[in-house]
Structure 1
Amino acid sequence: MDAYTAGAVVTTSETLPRVVYADDHRMVAEGIERLLDGICELVAITQDGPGLLDSIREKRPDLILSDVNMPGGSGLDVLKTLRAEGDRTPFVFLTMHAEPALAATAMRAGANGYVLKVSAGEELLTALRHVFAGSTYVTPSLGTHYLHADTLGMQELTPKQLEVLRLVGAGMRSRHIADRLGLSVRTVEAHKYTIMQILDVHTTLELVRRAEDLGLLF
């Protein structure tokens, strides 16, 4: 497991909730570690999907805090694996992805919270309080839109995401799509990743077939 070890969280209380945290951005992780100091006991911090799954199985935390997009498998993949195994450990996403449809996908998959990194800080603590109290929490700036994303369809994707999806469906590679739309390759890949999460697929072939089934390529 390619992970870095969490700095010791000083605590003399055995009542602090034990948390496993996953984020491949070291500076973000260090900031969250400082934020949670004295509030939660971070028993592991990892940088990727496989490492997160290993840490959860080893540490048996009270709560899981995870980014969505990580190397080796997304946080969403880890959540789905846990829920399929019957593991109901509270799971909160802390992410840069502000798409209501992705928040809806995460909550339908069994997440207990969805917090944007730009809102992190006091809001993350609010989200954790809600989740520890048995409730759920979604960043208010997403509004109630995610509640209306219960059926997959064109309205869940932004116009730019639909453009990217249709060009993927036409067989174009990310570099050519980037040139066509005046975007960076990284931005195109980010759009493609988000679309795949929303449509619950893992390969480009599955993405195209799913989009065809939903009538999104016409």
Structure 2
Amino acid sequence: MKILIVDDHAIVRGGLRRLLATLPDATVLEAASGRDALLRYREERPDLTLLDLNLPGLGGLELVKRLLLADERARILVFSMHAEPLYAARALQAGALGYVSKGASPDELLVAVRRVLDGARYVENEIAQELALQSSPGRSALGDLSERELEILRLLGEGHSLADIADTLGVAYKTVANTCGHIKSKLGVARTADLIRLSIETGIS
């Protein structure tokens, strides 16, 4: 059984490696970025990919989609610092089978890993309860953004130019510029600088 850990922090990867090594017959692989993860996935075809959302360059949501394009049967569990239901909802919409925050207990993470390995869905208990309590429309303006729009907003918050973002996502500059226009309209702001500020203030970056 192969498990691929994708996180840009070596200490986090080391801790996860030790925890996952307690599973029977587990071979643990590592990647420090989204692009490295795509290469490792194609080479190794792991049974489970455990990934962070906040990755340098190619972000977690985009990585989920690209992994599923490479293998529609990919089993993906997101392990993120974000405990807000919005992030869990976006990850599941992108195609992840599970979502656990880094505030969860090791035991709960292992339960999630086993469930996703079995092809089932798993969302951390507290986050699942909040998702269930929320009304169907997003309660914040960010809830109206598509996965691609959230990804562009995150990259803006990290200081990337529109040209850099177009290169990272593999799309035309005009596509990114037009998408930024849609994001401004949805969030009610006029300038790209306002988008950057919102990205930083809401913790997307």
TM-score normalised over the length of structure 1: 0.65
Partner SS for 1:119: coil
Residue 125 in 1 paired to residue 110 in 2? Answer: yes
Moved over 4 A (4+): 147-151, 195-199
Choose the corresponding residue for 1:217, options 188, 194, 199: 188
8 Å CA contact 1:104, 1:149 repeated in 2? no
8 Å CA contact 2:19, 2:106 repeated in 1? yes
In terms of Rg, which structure is larger? Answer: 1
Choose the corresponding residue for 1:69, options 48, 51, 54: 54
Q: Which has the higher helix share?
A: 2
Residue 35 in 1 paired to residue 19 in 2? Answer: yes
Cα distance in 2 between the residues matched to 1:150 and 1:45: 36
Equivalent residue for 2:101? 116
- Quote how far apart the aligned CAs of 1:150 are: 5.4
What are the equivalent positions in structure 2 for 1:135-146 lying under 5 Å apart? Answer: 135-146=120-131
Change (3 A) 1:99 1:24: same
Cα distance in 2 between the residues matched to 1:119 and 1:89: 23
Cα distance in 2 between the residues matched to 1:37 and 1:211: 45
Equivalent residue for 2:43? 58
TM-score normalised over the length of structure 2: 0.69
Change (3 A) 1:26 1:100: same
> Aligned pairs, how many?
163
Change (3 A) 1:101 1:27: same
Equivalent residue for 1:178? none
The CA RMSD over aligned residues, in Å, is 2.7
Give the fraction of aligned pairs with identical amino acids, expressed as a percent: 33
Partner SS for 1:93: strand
Residue 22 in 1 paired to residue 11 in 2? Answer: no
Cα distance in 2 between the residues matched to 1:106 and 1:80: 10
CA deviations over 1:19-72 (Å, ceiling 9, x no partner): 111111111111111111131624420111100111101100111011111112
Partner SS for 2:3: strand
Equivalent residue for 2:65? 80
Unaligned runs of 5+ in 2: 157-176, 190-205
Partner SS for 2:116: helix
Change (3 A) 1:42 1:68: farther
8 Å CA contact 1:66, 1:92 repeated in 2? yes
- Quote how far apart the aligned CAs of 1:211 are: 4.3
8 Å CA contact 2:21, 2:28 repeated in 1? no
Partner SS for 2:73: coil
Cα distance in 1 between the residues matched to 2:104 and 2:59: 21
